[in-house]
Amino acid sequence: MARPTLLQCAYLCLGLTVNALAKDAPVERVQRTYHGIWADDATATNGLINPDRGFRLECPIANSEGVILLTQPDGSGARRRGGKLEGTSAFPTLDSDAGKSGWSDKAMSDALLRLQTAGITTHLGICWLDEYSAKPLDAALLGRLDKSLDIFRRTGTRVILRFAYELDRKKVNGPTVAMVTQHIEALRPVLAKNVDVILAIQMGFIGHRGEIRDSARIPSDLTSHAAVLKALIAARPPARPLQIRSATMRSALLSGLNLAPEINQGEAFTERTPAAFIGFHNIGFGADSTDDGTFDAVGPSDAGWKTWCQQGIFVPVDADLGPGFASAAPLMDGWNMITKAAMERVVTFGISRAWSTVSPSKAAGPLDAWKTQMKTREDVAARGLPISDGYFSDSKGNAVPRSAFDYLRDHLGYRYELISASWPSSVKQGAPYELRIRVTNRGFASCPTARTFDLAYAQKSGRYIYSPGAGENFDIRTIPPAAALQPEIANQGQEIVCNAIAPNAPGKHQLVVMFPEAAPAKPVSTKKPATANSSGAPAGADARNYIRFANRDAPYWVAQDRTCAGAILGEIEITR
């Protein structure tokens, strides 16, 4: 073969240099910005269907089939099998008229699925132990409780648990402290088995409806109540919060157990002290100037109210429209309720007594009035409430007022929105790369459950590859609610840096970001790349428990096997 000429050598060297430069050239990065949901978006009719937040209803759980709980004309509680007696009123049971046929697991399952179409994915389940006030819990009761919790699991619904003995305030039947602590220990295995469907456990156990007052046989003293809390702390499944009905009560009980009564930001979202996982529940939200005794007086002059608002940034808060809502004038203005809910960091909001469809007569309740109380963007900004991008406009750019009902439904708890994202347009299979996303939480509160940050690489064929993201180094609860921040800070959002590893699957993929619930026992690993042979979501994963972002230009992706879901950022190419 002839030797190359000097000119040919020059061209050859030039080619090698160009190729080397091309190989080392930085890959172009995709830069995207995202926007909120318009008022006329299809999802605007029922809000974002998300777990662990929003409106909730109430129902008894672990009841025998066909049994209904009633309040009789003299105010006493009773159990009846079959249709209710004249003049009695049934305890709330989701949106069903349980008075006709009594308790039914099928009716409960049907109601839970039906209510999800209205965006209601969490409920208060009260397990009534009135028949066990003077005896140990038996296998029948524990079996019924396990069965009820499994209904929540199968319907993709979460439950706030409360246990109660006293159906009325007559103080004629109730347990002792010793019996309560024995029962709590007996409940421990069922709670541990069903931790995946439990959002929180309320202290309960003491007094009428488990409201920790007016008990028949448990003295109203710090020692007795602290003993119940101590037993519940011991039985609590890991990573599941407890709730107590006032900040003053929480501080007193924890101090009585020689535990820190409050937490700071550094202790938040940890298991270091019970105060970090004990939140609040308000049984009389808006009922009067004290919220039915929850506070001495609602407002900055009340130390308990101030503590509630400050600690509520770090622990979950449940609020409930109590029985006195019908005569509570403040409830008639939905926007006043919104301002109050935002300051008190409300995550879930009980509306059983104001949900018009819960009544067979379909009588209008406060929520119906809230649907007609409209405000503009300027009105809401003047109140200092969080405003999502696009929330007060339609897809044509027209300004649109929103109702108090819609706004409260859409901003209770968390409301996560993507602001921007950046990632390389292409990356070699198995190679590390950096993904940056900026997220804001325009809701009233933090997410009540710990969540990590994972990725999916979705293909047009429907196949996908599940890949670890930021793993145990990230917890979505650390993104503070906009209601606790200045608007300019909330609008900037928080940057999350994910040091990802590309899957071993060449081709073009849709890059999906997901916030799965953390599994404390098995932290997500970030050390190994996902492969086409290990492409599914973790065992037991359920798409209904993943978070939906409030963005119109980050399409919501759900895996074909219904195990996981998230927001599509855009396209990424994996090369060999």
**Domain finish residue from 181, 207, 240:** 240
Judged on CB neighbours under 10 Å (0-12, 13-18, 19+), 2 is: exposed
- Domain membership flag for residue 3: no
pLDDT at residue 39 is higher than 90:
yes
Strand pairing partners for 572?
509
- CATH number, position 167: 3.20.20.80
Please check whether residue 397 lies inside any domain of the structure: no
Q: Are residues 421 and 541 in the same domain?
A: yes
Residues 443, 539 share a domain: yes
Q: Are 331 and 260 part of one and the same domain?
A: yes
Range of the domain at 273: 245-370
Q: How confident is the model at residue 164 (pLDDT cuts 50, 70, 90)?
A: very high
393 occurs within a structural domain:
no
| Long-range interactions of 23-28: CB distance < 8 A, separation 24+ | 27/424, 27/425, 27/426, 27/427, 28/424, 28/425
Residues 433 and 320 in one domain: no
Q: Give the number of domains in the chain.
A: 3
Q: What's the pLDDT tens digit per position in 446-491?
A: 999 999 999 999 998 999 999 987 766 789 999 999 999 988 888 9
Q: Is residue 218 part of a domain?
A: yes
pLDDT at 75 over 90: no
In a domain, 84, yes or no: no
Identify which has the larger pLDDT, 434 or 9.
434
Is there a domain that residue 425 lies in? yes
Rounded distance between C-alpha atoms, residue 161 and residue 124, angstroms = 6
Q: Which residue has the higher pLDDT, 211 or 5?
A: 211
Question: Does 112 share its domain with 234?
Answer: yes
Helix intervals (H) in 315-374: 334-343, 366-370
Mark whether 214 and 267 lie in a shared domain: no
Give the separation between CA 565 and CA 304, rounded to whole angstroms.
40
Q: Is a pLDDT exceeding 50 seen at residue 495?
A: yes
How far is the C-alpha of 241 from the C-alpha of 233, rounded, in Å? Answer: 9
11 membership: H or E segment, kind and range: helix 6-24
Q: Which of 370, 404, 429 is the last residue of a domain?
A: 370
Q: Are 226 and 184 within 8 A, CB to CB?
A: no
73 Cβ partners below 8 Å, 6+ apart? 87, 88
Tracing tokens 């019924």 back to the chain, one arrives at 144
- Most confident residue range from 118-122, 179-183, 471-475: 179-183
b/e code 373-408 from CB counts within 10 Å (16+ = b): bebeeeebeeeebbbbbbbbbeeeeeebebbbbbbb
Based on the domain organization, do 271 and 348 belong to the same domain?
yes
State the DSSP code for 470: S
| pTM listed for this prediction | 0.91
Q: Which of 463, 568, 458, 433 is nearest to 509 (CA)?
A: 458
Q: Are residues 565 and 433 in the same domain?
A: yes
Residue 345 has pLDDT above 90, yes or no: yes
CB atoms within 10 A of CB 107: 19
In a domain, 224, yes or no: yes
Do residues 550 and 37 touch, judged by C-beta distance below 8 A? yes
**Beta pairing, strands 454-458 & 464-468:** antiparallel
Q: Would 80 be classed as within a structural domain? A: no
Residues 511 and 454 in one domain: yes
For 226-272, the pLDDT digits (tens) are 999 999 999 999 889 999 999 999 999 999 999 999 999 899 999 89
Q: Are residues 252 and 328 in the same domain?
A: yes
Residues 6+ apart with CB under 8 A from 77: 69, 70, 71, 130, 166, 167, 168
Q: What is the pLDDT confidence band of residue 521, given thresholds at 50, 70 and 90?
A: very low
Phi, psi of 401, deg, nearest 5: -75, 155
Position 332 scores a pLDDT of 79
Domain end (from 306, 339, 370): 370
Strand-pair category, 198-202 with 122-128: unpaired
pLDDT tens-digit map of 295-341: 999 999 999 999 999 999 999 999 998 776 655 666 778 999 999 99
Are 178 and 253 members of one domain?
no
Whether 455 and 476 share a structural domain? yes
